[in-house]
A and B are shown apart, each in its own frame.
Chain A
Amino acid sequence: MVVGFVFAAAFLSLGIRLVDLATRAPLEAARSSTRGAALAAEGVSDVPDPRRADIVDRQGHLLATNIVTLSVTADPAKVLDARRTAVALAGALDGVDEADLLRRLERGGRFVWVKRHISPREQAAIQDLGLPGVAFTDSEMRAYPNGNLVSHVLGFVDIDNQGLAGLEYGLQRDLVGGEAEGKEPLRLALDLRVQEVVHDQLARAVTDFRALGGCALVLDVHSRELVSLVSLPDFDPNHPERAPADARTNRCTGNVYELGSVFKIVTSAMALESGRVSLYDRFDASEPLKIGRHTIRDDHGKWRVLAVPEIFAFSSNIGTAQMAFAAGGPAVQQPFLESLGLTDKPKLDIPETQAPLVPAKWIDIVSATVSYGHGIAVAPLQFAESVAALVGDGRFARTRFLDAGEGAAPSGPRVVSEETVQAMRLLLWLTVDRGTGTNGHTQGYLVGGKTGTADKPADDRRGYERGAVIASFVGAFPIDQPRYVVMVTLDEPQGNDSTFGWRYGGWTAAPVVADIVAIAGPLLGVEPTRPAIEASFDRQMHTIPVVNGRTHREEEGFEVVRLAR
């Protein structure tokens, strides 16, 4: 009897414990986390981890985050009438296909996604239906509070929160797992305030000039951090599936263009760095240049002998081609472009990159056309990188998308000397002060820049399209000690009344850069240029003799340009 009592007590205690475990454990599991996160935490390998770290701008403004939303699921084994359920759910939920849902419900099994990430209104509608076998589950959703504004930098994720484009894809490893795995928010170099300014100005220009699209970017010359990047048309990363493919194309990194005369920045730096050309040299641009059966002409021709600063400021193709040959031609040009990273596919934190289109053979005519930006196609950001090197510290470094911290300067290989950098600043200033880029002038800041207008290659890559151009302007400010490079490219802009019908980069893209500098400069804490600095640039130009020993101030060509504005 005693033994019986002992066994009875033991079995009773086991029974109580079993009941206890059976009733409590599922409750705890249900409360622990969202469905995907719980599976990921348990190490279920075939379920993608939906947890992701936040992305913030350099000021800490939230750019991307995860929020919890409800999703609707169904258990086909518990669904009483599959057809009625499918009809009711398709009626209550946007975007749910009745036939597809019915097929999945009839296929059997124990789990079917009906719709992910539903709205509170949809949740209420489903609850009102009271369908057996239909349930809700928590799931994490990526949210982009700024909508289109930073779309091409951030990219987007798929329904399982896995990166598909932009930084979401490029830095997937740094993001996935999120806070739960000790991942800090990803701090970008991008400044949301500047991004808004750049977006606003570029959108206005694309509308005003009826362009197919455009790209605008701001690059920190000191740290090579990307402060802003806008590509239009853009898309809402909260609903990337609604955007056409063209809107998802990043025109700053994912498309390459023949950029035209802005390339003269590279050619001039190469010529000056070679030591075979100086600011004091002159080249004959009085008639078209013939190379074999090809003829090179000037769009803004002066048809006379031009000094190097004039060749640059008036954007002479004839003079620039001769400078390239004087520097050493293809033998010097190709390695110089390589040193600036203009011949290789750029290594960026985003996957939307395209390798430049470079000539297969570097013969004389190719060298001549490349000198003024035809016959070579690069992405705007890749070109801006090289400009930052040529007006900054003379060293080449790739663009950083992440905040590198205060005072962090990259130490890339030196491509040009300090003297060449100084000469380039002078040439860029001259172009905005008196050359083809006067519309890039900004009150308060001394801006240097270069215009570019390139014909678009025809679809069959044989020749160029008539009337279709890529208009660009790349500027640096303040040009005495450049802090930022600003580049704007417009795809097929049309002239309007404000440009007297012109669609040149100097008329369409330069004013956009000027407006960006004027508004973003104070936001970035750039002090206005002192009058003494401007006077010193003016004095430097006086020291360069041009045709017949006269200085630029006295030279007729500049006066003609000034009157023509």
Chain B
Amino acid sequence: MTRRHNLALLVLIALSMGGVFQLKYSMVALKSEVARINADLEEERWRMRTLEADWAYLTRPDRLVAQAQALGMTRAGVTRIVDIERIGRRKQLELSRRPMPITLPSGGSAEFRVKPIATFEIAAGGSGR
């Protein structure tokens, strides 16, 4: 009885040892997996940093200026800055100066003109001397 009991206990000990080892092993495997993923992330992060540095190098202002000039582009001068309000009013004035011939229901003809809301003249372009 005692021998059988002891044997059972030994088997149990062996099984628990195996179980603990298995648990530990799977934990270590998971830890290793986490370390690998972290290392991959770190690697990707470095790759991104290198790409960002490459992008900054390729979009540096002197290079963009040279390319823009090669494409015939010019810098936007101050004279090209106008109030958005002015653009609207100028459009109205242009329309008001362009009469449109229309045919009336009676058969007669007439000119259709748009009357601008603001009727004062606005200087074109930017200000300054």
Contact = CB atoms under 8 A, between A and B. Distances in A.
Contacts of A9: 14, 17
Contacts of A35: none
Contacts of B50: 67-68
A24 B32 contact: yes
B79 interface: yes
A119 interface: no
Most buried by B among A146, A193, A195: A146
A521 B50 CA distance: 33
B91 interface: no
A65 B57 contact: no
Contacts of B53: 62, 65, 67, 143, 145
A33 B42 contact: yes
A32 B38 contact: yes
A192 interface: yes
Given A145-B56, A196-B61, A527 B129 contact: no
B36 interface: yes
Interface string B48-63: 0110111111011110
B123 to A, nearest CB: 8
B46 A28 contact: no
Contacts of B75: 519
A550 B102 CA distance: 62
A444 B60 contact: no
Nearest to B17: A13
Given A33-B42, A145-B53, A534 B129 contact: yes
A66 B10 CA distance: 58
A180 to B, nearest CB: 10
Interface in B33-78: 35-36, 38-39, 42, 46, 49-50, 52-57, 59-62, 65, 75-78
A565 B10 CA distance: 110
B36 A146 contact: no
Contacts of A534: 127-129
A443 B129 contact: yes
Given A522-B76, A522-B80, A2 B128 contact: no
B13 interface: yes
Contacts of B81: 444, 522, 527-528
A32 B35 CA distance: 7
Nearest to A2: B10
B77 A522 contact: yes
B61 A444 contact: no
A531 B52 contact: no
A149 B60 contact: yes
A28 to B, nearest CB: 5
Size class of the contact patch on chain A? 35 or more
B99 interface: no
Nearest to A5: B10
B61 A65 contact: no
Contact of A67 (B49, B61, B126): B49
A377 to B, nearest CB: 33
A530 interface: yes
Contact of B78 (A28, A63, A444): A444
B21 interface: yes
Contacts of A527: 81
Nearest to A61: B56
Given A9-B17, A522-B78, A534-B129, A62 B56 contact: yes
A108 to B, nearest CB: 33
Given A9-B14, A522-B76, A65 B128 contact: no
A9 to B, nearest CB: 6
Contact of B127 (A32, A518, A530): A530
Contacts of A147: 60
Contacts of A528: 78-79, 81, 126-128
Interface in A496-553: 518-519, 521-522, 527-531, 534
A521 B78 contact: yes
A13 B32 CA distance: 20
Contacts of A424: none
A431 B57 CA distance: 42
B31 to A, nearest CB: 8
B35 A28 contact: yes
Contacts of B28: 20, 24
A193 to B, nearest CB: 6
B6 interface: yes
Nearest to B59: A61
A9 B12 CA distance: 13
Contacts of B128: 442-446, 528-529, 531, 534
Contacts of B36: 31
Most buried by A among B52, B55, B129: B129
A443 B57 contact: no
A259 B117 CA distance: 55
Nearest to B21: A13
A6 interface: yes
10 contacts: A16-B21, A28-B32, A65-B49, A68-B49, A443-B126, A518-B77, A522-B77, A528-B78, A528-B128, A534-B128
Interface of A: 2, 5-6, 9-10, 13, 16-17, 20, 24, 28, 31-33, 61-63, 65-68, 143, 145-147, 149, 192-193, 195-196, 200, 441-446, 518-519, 521-522, 527-531, 534
Interface of B: 6-7, 10, 13-14, 17, 21, 24-25, 28, 32, 35-36, 38-39, 42, 46, 49-50, 52-57, 59-62, 65, 75-81, 126-129
